[in-house]
Amino acid sequence: MSAVMIWITAVLAYAAFWFWYVGFQKKVTPQEVAATMSIFEHDDTWTASQKEHLRKFLLDDDGKDFVMVNLLHLKAPKKESLEKLNTYQKIFLGSLLRKAGHPVMIARAASGNVENVACDHADDWSAAGMIRYRSRRDLMNILPATIGSKHHGLKLESLEKTFAFPAAPWFVFGGPRIVVALGIALLAALIHIATAL
């Protein structure tokens, strides 16, 4: 294989990754948002203000990715709750990964709060996480298969309390865009060197 073909193949491979990871999806429409919000009509686990926050977030679609910031407090016994949560995560993250979503950060609490400004009853968090979504449309597609499902029930059974909020724009050093680009470039360079010998 010639050097030109090696690098053209590398560029095409990264372009395919970019198309999947970043995507070029249309922004959601008010009609699509209304259809998604209808699944919450009989869901008592979400307050009216939470539903309104979600509706507004979806309507403000900018077509870009975002992260969902989560704090979790497991029920006792924690081992049993953690098993339930892990079962939920395997199913949920499996569907999310197919849409180029993934965890950005997952960590267990190493102590209680060391700072707590004007936040009553905000202690005893067990874990924190940030989950990347490719788009708000992807979130809309995942919600109907999650809310009210058996695996979502496992999540609710495992948690004493939790809160989550979407954050955008966001930035992280490195990340799949850079790691994949470097990996493809390294592989192409190695093939180039091997064929030149």
DSSP per-residue codes, 132-181: EES-HHHHHHHHHHHTT-HHHHHHHHHEEEEEEEEE-S---SS-HHHHHH
User: Which pLDDT belongs to residue 174?
Assistant: 86
Annotated domain spans of the chain: 1-26+174-197, 28-61+65-168
The C-alpha atoms of residue 124 and residue 109 are separated, in whole angstroms, by 9
Average pLDDT, the chain: 92
Tell me the pLDDT tens digit for each residue of 30-73.
999 999 999 888 778 889 999 999 999 999 999 999 999 999 99
Per CATH, the number for 28-61+65-168 is: 3.30.70.100
Pairing between β-strand 159-167 and β-strand 102-108 as defined by DSSP bridges: unpaired
Nearest Cα to Cα of residue 64 among 96, 98, 36, 26 = 26
pTM: 0.91
Q: What confidence score (pLDDT) does residue 34 get?
A: 96
**Tell me, what's the pLDDT at 114?**
87
- Is the model's pLDDT at 191 over the cut of 90? yes
